[in-house]
Structure formats: structure tokens, C-alpha cells
Amino acid sequence: MGEPIDWFLFDPAGKETRVAKWKRTLGIRPDGRVFIPAIFASEMEVFLCASYDGQRVVITKDHHLYVDLDWAAATWTKAPEAELFEAMRGMAADVGQAGSSVG
């Protein structure tokens, strides 16, 4: 069993969303490492790349894949993903204000 991870759900302020909760959830370890949902490619592709690179992955009890944000940002460097990763970094930094713990 690994280190504990605190999970935070992000909702757009005052807006309804149809985006699944798991896609709006970030995990943060006590050491500050941030785990993000594998929504920037197929989960299988992300899993295989992470495994090949020796990266730790988190698979939730709902069978969703989360990977280290720093690794993802270094691996998927195209513009749309880069913007997504920066937004996730901002959400992780604001976790005390914008997020609510989900587990």
C-alpha cells in the first residue's frame, strides 16, 4: 500500500456540468505530488506509457486511471494538453479554496 492520497472534486462556480466527477477530481499526496485523471488520451495509452516509463499510477475502485501531473506534462507536450496541465496545476494550487475533499 502506498502513501495516502487526498482527493478533491472541482466544480465550476455556480455552473452545472455534465463532466463526470472522476474527470474533475485531483489527488494530492502529503509530499505534494499531484495525480490527475488520464483524460488527455485513452486510459490504456496513458497506462502503457506510464508503465513503460516506470511511473506510479493510481487506479481507483471505480477503475479510473490517475497519473502524476509532472510526468504527464513532460510526456504530452502538445498545446491542448499543455493548457490542460497548467489549468490542473492551478486547481491543485487553489485546492484549499476551490476544492472539496471527496475521500
- DSSP readout, 18-31? -S-GGGGEEEE-TT
The three-point CA angle 3-9-13 to 5° equals 150
Cell triple for residue 75? 510526456
pLDDT at 101: 58
Report pLDDT digits (tens) over 19-62. 888 988 999 998 889 999 998 889 999 999 999 999 999 999 89
The three-point CA angle 13-36-49 to 5° equals 150
Cell triple for residue 21? 466527477
